[in-house]
Amino acid sequence: MGDTGVRMCKRCGSFVELEKDEELKKEYPYYCPRCDENMYSFETVVVKDKGRRRT
Ligand SMILES: [Zn+2]
């Protein structure tokens, strides 16, 4: 299952990061640096890449 594109926090619109902590990511796969909170996947929204960004 390709989940390409980036994810944004539904609350603040910032890009979220993948949680790296083994324990945390079982429940919260994402982390929003702006809210400083871990996120469930349903708290994020996938933004498909419209153009190609290759930088
Ligand atoms: Zn956020």
Centre of ligand 1 from the C-alpha of residue 15, in Å: 8
Centre of ligand 1 from the C-alpha of residue 33, in Å: 7
Centre of ligand 1 from the C-alpha of residue 22, in Å: 21
In-domain check, residue 22:
yes
For 1-55, give the DSSP string. Answer: ----SEEEETTT-PBPEE---TTHHHH--EEETTTTEEE-GGGEEEE---S----
Centre of ligand 1 from the C-alpha of residue 38, in Å: 9
Number of domains within the chain: 1
Reported pTM: 0.75
Centre of ligand 1 from the C-alpha of residue 13, in Å: 6
In-domain check, residue 52:
no
- Kindly give the pairing relationship between strand 30-32 and strand 37-39: antiparallel
Q: What confidence tens digit (pLDDT) does each residue in 2-54 have?
A: 556 789 999 999 999 999 999 999 999 999 999 999 999 999 999 876 666 66
Give one word for 48, left, alpha or beta, with left for phi > 0 and alpha for psi -120 to 50: beta
Residue 30's domain comprises 6-47
Closest CA to 14 of 40, 42, 47: 47
In-domain check, residue 53:
no
